[in-house]
Chain A
Amino acid sequence: MPKMDRVVIKETKYMAAWVLILSAVMQAVFLVIGQWDYTVLLGNLLSATAVVGNFFGMAVGIQRALGKEEKDAKQAIRASNALRLFGMFAVLALGVLLPCFSTWTTVIPIFFPRVIVALRPLWDKKMGEEEHADES
């Protein structure tokens, strides 16, 4: 197995941490509106694991593709994307079909990475300002 790039591990940890935070927020919302039961938790666990796994798969695929020629890299990423899409289809189908998983909490975490990326500039800016203040 090839050695993991430091960036891949760092960004996967970042994504996993934020998915955990957003999942906790979602669980709290379900608890507050009185819709919480074990299916909500199981659906969230299934989907959050799939989202982080999908990101990790993408990061590893990119890391491998970066060492290849341009044309081979394109092909490798397309293959990786198709494979991950099938994986996500399987996970979503499981979550929607099996009654032990809540449909909503299976579907909602799929959109967490988009939210995390949208919030990242704010977070990075804040961190950058703090680092700048420390330096001065």
Chain B
Amino acid sequence: MELAIGLILGACALGAGLAMIAGIGPGIGEGNAVAKACEAIGRQPESKGAVTSTMLFGCVIAETTGLYALVIAILLIFVAPGRLVDLLVTTMAGL
């Protein structure tokens, strides 16, 4: 029983850590987008407003990927272990 609970907790923690790998991508992507926007604004300063506005919403889309991963990680850390251990205990009690 203890081994099964340990496995559940370990697997949840490992899953959360793996999910957060997706959090690296948005930072790199947004960084590249902003660097290119700097270049574009340097070339055409009058288009600053339009470039910033478009890039803001592009960055929102990029950021959502990281937030999906964050939500999955949070649920795996704080919600899943309790529910899975409860399920295990209920199943074992029924046997």
Residues of A within 8 A of B (CB): 5-8, 10-11, 54-55, 58-59, 62-63, 65-66, 68-71, 73-78, 81-82, 84-85, 88-89, 92-93, 96-97, 103, 107, 110-111, 113-114, 116-117, 120
Contact = CB atoms under 8 A, between A and B. Distances in A.
18 contacts: A7-B53, A7-B56, A11-B56, A54-B63, A65-B38, A66-B37, A70-B35, A71-B35, A78-B27, A78-B30, A78-B31, A89-B74, A96-B79, A107-B71, A110-B70, A111-B64, A116-B60, A117-B61
Instruction: Identify which of B56, B57, B61, B70 gathers the most chain A CB atoms within 10 Å of its CB.
Output: B56
Q: Report the 6 A-B pairs with minimum CB-CB distance, sorted nearest first.
A: A74-B31, A81-B27, A114-B64, A70-B35, A78-B27, A77-B31
Interface of B: 23, 26-28, 30-32, 34-35, 37-39, 41, 48-49, 52-53, 55-57, 59-61, 63-64, 66-68, 70-71, 74-75, 78-79
SS of B interface (majority): helix
Given A11-B56, A58-B59, A111-B64, A74 B35 contact: yes
A96 B78 contact: yes
B28 A78 contact: yes
